[in-house]
Structures are given as structure tokens and as C-alpha cells.
Chain A
């Protein structure tokens, strides 16, 4: 097990934003040509790290988790073996392929500086990159964009609006599939004039036009395809967005970072084990990551994806077969740009203290 302490000392946020290369224990593979891409996927609601990456080798795990425990790899529906101690949840077979390709780094028993139990404050800390919920009004990823050598429109939020992590002085855009037809260029010209005395609206309009061009460049989904995308069920919609986003990122002048989020991880009741509620969501996550990789194509080789959540969940199972808010969580780094195949954790053990 590699040490996680140095990793944390750097600050998960700032370190990742600087391109991962400055982190001890996290280094890039042979550098591919073209500049790097980073996608941050925020799983809102506090994903249960002990189910995402079950420590089946910990002697206390099976007993502590009871009906929620994922069995060891030799059992049917058991964990996908990582290193003989940790495994991946069995609903993540495509991610496991990335592990075998040495493109996945698992960070376990990790946490932001936040120690309370509010989702909303926890997400604020995760996104503002400080040590307090109201520590900064901008997001660390936006500030990192500002530090890039040639600041241009580098950030893309996958949604109608921009989450805190990507808010700040650097210009960023947002995109989500639309149920509606496209806007005539002539109208855009008139709106630009209408906003000539209104800097915030003028900036948004420019960003929207630029992103629109990128979507077109990346082989824009047709209006009908977008409408289908917007109407699809949660999993299908996220997959379609991830694939389109991958293509936008892969463009030579495409955004360099993108943020995607997905909710539904707050498993207070009926969490399930190898099958059930959480397993279903993890299956979607597995498919979304694969769709993103597909969209990135060759650019996958110079990309990294950070999958993170605001805090972890209790080791103990609660009265409603779920878990409550806790501290220690797991995060994933996956991408062709990573020298992966490692679990970073100072494993504290699951025995009660």
C-alpha cells in the first residue's frame, strides 16, 4: 500500500488541478502529444467508499457490514480483486478493465478537511478547495484554469449551470442536451447588442455561442438526437452527455477541463450489497466512464478523470439497512494519462475504536 499522507498534504484539489503530475504517488504515464484533459465527476450525496472499493481483506469488514458486505473475489458476485486486500464493486467491470490496463488509481480512506455531516457544506469544501464551507466564493478548478499558461475558455460544466467547483474569474461554459431547436444567428446578434451594457449577460451569451460551435465541431448530435438525450432516463442521459463531452474535450481547441455531476448516492435506507440500489447506480457510473472514454477516443491517452464525493459513510449499518453520514471516503483517478494500477491508502482498519 502506498502512502496517502503526502497526497493529502498537497490538498487533493489543488494538486489535481495542477495536472496531477506534482503529486507524489500520482504521476503521468509517458506523455502523449497535445495538452492534457481533466474531467472531475462529483458524486453528490456521499458515496459509500466501503462498497465502491470493498476492503475484503480486512478481517472486520464482513462482520461490520453484514448484509451490505461485498464478498471476496472467489465468491459469486464477489469483489473484483485489486491487490488481494481491496477490490472493486462487482458492478464496475469496465472500470476493472482500466485497472488491468494500469490506468486506475484508487485513493481510499480519504477525506476533505471537512469534518461535519452536512452534504451541502461538505460539497462546498470539496469544490471551493479551502478548509471551510464558506472559504472561497470560487472553485479550485476555476482558479487552476486561471493559472494555466494560456488562459482561454478552458472549462466546461456539463449541465445548464456552472457548479461551484468551476465558478470564478476564468471564463467557463456550460452545456446540456436541449429539448428545443437552435437559435437563429441573427437573433444572437441582436441579443449581443441588447446586452452591450450588461457585462454578465454578454459574457454568458459569448460562452454559449462558443460552446455551440464546439458541439457542432465534435459532430453535434442533431436536434432530434439531443431531444432524445434530454428525455432519456437518468443512466442513458448521463451516458449520452459523457460521450458528447468526450468528443468536445478531444477537439484541439476544446475545453481542457470538464465537470460532471450525478446525484443519488445518499443511501440511508435499503443500500444493498452486490445487488440492489447502490449497485444499480454504480453500474451506471461504470457505463458513464466507459462512454466518456469512448467519446475522448485517442485523447483518452492524455486524459484523467477524478471521481470524488463530499464525504464517506458510517462503517456501521444503520437501522434501515443503509448507512449514515461519515468521514472517510474513496476517490478514483482513471485515465490513459495516469501511471495507475495502485491503491493509495493508509488503511486505518475497520475495528471500532
Chain B
């Protein structure tokens, strides 16, 4: 049986988009696949919601300046005070407005965009390259990785995306790479001069494996992608010197808060990663390794699996993973080619929903369906906090999990209900739940649900039942 275009349009909007706004299904119905593919053409102007946000380098530069001041003031008093604890409230006050402005802009884009498939992909890649704002140094910059690096490259080549992400100050500082020093580098061998380098903790200097490990495990090959601890260590040595600008005295170098390759921290010589010997010098060595990682078959499979899991099913069909892996390799990692393979795979269009919405997906789709766009920052962001998925705060470099079992707890369900009640109270009786259901779920709304809406005790109760219906909770 072939599904009608109305059904396909509803699937396109809920499974691939961010949930339909009233009117959206009509736009998609003529050619649901074409409607999605038109959204992932390489060129796009940045959303106007981003106007006025401060650049990440500026925010990080300000962070470093304030921190240096505070450290200098404290140096005499408490030698042992941990730098992270010493940040205190002031620094948070400097950064928090940036975080809130970025989170609010992201939410406004998601609620009003007419290219929701593209926006979902932006947030998919942000989660793939997770930087968590709950690390103090990243509070102001976590969102800038999305806006400055991911948005412009979401419809380009993965290799370009990877290279830009790993050299962005947000990622460098999230995974501590500015502190990683080659043991035989100029700095590593001159023990007495290290204190003035930016963000190099006093004491012994050496390698920090964090960034190298997470690139291999999470960003490229995947945990079973065929690398060993020795690859992590030598890749960490390759990446020494990938740092940020700023610093004091003779270590002052580059624009504060911007990416800066610091040759004095770089471990000299050739290194072997995944069996290949890299003889380049300086920054180029890391760039070459990253390019090879982007082209690695394990990376193709890892990314294909994550995309298929995100869009289609918690346990992605092997045939789909094969197909996306092939599309990635055949196109030299061209992301739109992979997106097209996904959209053109018939199995992705089954009417029965396979995915339970994450809190973010639930909040976006609810507010889009009801056409609610709160003006105040606080109201705009409250839902994400109470439902357990605050923007840019997955708490781990692995990002938010992407399976129903991670989100379908009993308590989580109760919180969705209470949040829906509050939302329905807010929009009042003006919304006809039945009409909203038909305009946003189309033929996907089942008889049982429609009759429950019709029998509801009040208009706002009908809205709650709609938002909490099985058809709306899944996609």
C-alpha cells in the first residue's frame, strides 16, 4: 500500500523536521521528499535570530582576562585553591548572559524556521560534537561552536566540519587541549618557564589525552572503530600545540580566545597513528591525521549509524546503515549526499513511528504546533530545564543519548504532563485541539486519540491530551 502524500508530509514534518506548524503540511504535501531535500542545499544565509550574538573568541577572551585578574588577586592568599572553584560568581555573571542569548536564539530559530530538517541536522551535529556548558570555561562558548562552525558546514563535507570543530576554542578548552604539552617540546623541556603560558596549570607539564581520545571514540571512528591506546597517545602528541591565543609575558601569542597553534608546546618529530607515519611538522600534522580519520571506513559507518538511529529507529536497520555508509564513502564524505540517501530510503517512511521524542523535540514540536513563541528569555527556556535537557548542557562529550530508554522514565512522563498542563493554561481556550491535531499530525492522528480530544472536559484539557497522545510523543 502506498501512503498518501498527506501522510508522507506529516512524516516528513515530524520525523525529519521539528514538528509541523499549522500550514506546514500543505507546503510539504506536493513533494514531501523534495521539500526535505530542498532544505539541505549547501548555501543558506544565517538565521536572523543570530544577529548581535558575540563571537566565541571574544567571549573566551573576556573569560581569560577576568580569570587572570582574579587569579592574580588570589595568588598570594591561597596557593592551593583549585582554578575551577576559584572562578566564583563574577565570572559566571560575565558568561551567563551570552549563554542565555545563544540558547534563546537557538530556540527562536527552532520555533519559527521554515527549514526544520536543516535545523534538526544542525542540532544533530552539535550533539555529535558535544561541548557542555556546565564546564565553567565553556559556559559562554558552547553555543558558539554551533553557530560559528556547524551551521555554515552542515551541508558541506564532513572533513571540513571535523577540521573546523576540532580547532574551535570551545572544543579545545572543553577537552583541555590547551593544557597538553609535548614532553620534548620547547616548553616541555624548559620546566621553569611554563607558568606564564595561558591555562597551563602550574606543576608538571605533559600530554593530556582527552581531545585525542574523544575525537577517535566519539567524533570519528567510534569506540569499536579499530584503534588502540597507543593511537590515542600518539594522536595526543600530534595535537599538542592546538591551543588558544592570549597568555602573558613571553607566552603572549595570538588573539586572546581565538585558536592559536603554539609551536612551543608541540611535540616534535613524526608520529604513527593507526599504522600510518605522519612526518609533517606543526599544525599540518594534526590536519592530515584528521583528514585521514574523516576518510576512514569506520568513521563512515559510525556516522551512518548515528544518523540512522537519530532519524529512523533506536536500533537502526542494517540495510539503512549500509546505504548511508556507502553514500558517505562514494561521495568522499559529502553530507548532503548522505542526507539524500536517508530521505530516499523507503523504509524511513513507515507510518508507524519508531522514535520517542526527546524533551527538546517534544518542546519544539509542542510550541510549533501551538504557534507559541514566548518573548521573554526565561519563558522561552523553562521547558528544557524542567524536562531535563537544558541547551548545550549534555554534561558529557558523548552528547545527549538518542534512544527511547534514555528518556521514557515514569517521572519524565509526569513532567511532560505537568509541563503540558502549564502550556495549555497559558494558551487558554483559544486553541481548538482537534483542529490543531489535524493541522499538525494530519492523517497520523488516530481515531482513539481524536475521540479522546472530542470528549475532553475543556479546551485546555484537550490540548494536554493532544500533546501527550502517543502520536505526538513519538515521531
A residues bordering B, Cβ < 8 Å?
66-67, 116-121, 133, 157, 159-162, 164, 167, 173-176, 178-183, 186-187, 190-191, 193-198, 200-201, 204-205, 207-208, 211-212, 230, 263, 268-270, 272, 275-277, 280, 317-321, 324
Contacts and interface: CB of A to CB of B under 8 A. Distances in A.
A162 B403 CA distance: 12
B210 interface: yes
A193 B83 contact: no
A160 B415 contact: yes
Which of B81, B84, B414, B421 has the most C-beta atoms of chain A within 10 angstroms of its own C-beta?
B414
Specify the main secondary structure of chain A where it touches its partner.
loop
A117 B230 CA distance: 12
Interface string B419-449: 1011000000000000000000000000011
A160 B417 contact: no
B414 A270 contact: no
Contacts of B80: 272, 275-276
Given A190-B456, A201-B473, A268-B210, A183 B409 contact: no
A219 B179 CA distance: 49
15 contacts: A67-B203, A120-B398, A160-B411, A173-B411, A174-B411, A181-B418, A194-B449, A201-B470, A204-B408, A204-B413, A205-B410, A268-B210, A272-B80, A276-B81, A320-B208
Interface string B258-292: 00000000000000000000000000000000000
Interface stretch (B100-108, B164-172, B300-308, B460-468): B460-468
B127 interface: no
Interface of B: 80-85, 176, 179-181, 183, 200-210, 213, 217, 223, 229, 232, 385-388, 395-396, 398, 404-415, 417-419, 421-422, 448-449, 452, 456-457, 461, 464-465, 468-470, 473
Contacts of A175: 410-411
Contact of A319 (B81, B179, B411): B179
Which of B81, B82, B210, B213 has the most C-beta atoms of chain A within 10 angstroms of its own C-beta?
B82
Contact of A159 (B203, B223, B409): B409
A320 B217 CA distance: 22
B374 to A, nearest CB: 16
Contact of A204 (B203, B409, B461, B469): B409
Contacts of B414: 178, 183, 208, 212
A349 B43 CA distance: 60
Contact of B207 (A121, A167, A276, A319): A319
A231 to B, nearest CB: 9
Given A198-B470, A205-B413, A180 B422 contact: yes
Nearest to A271: B82
B85 A117 contact: no
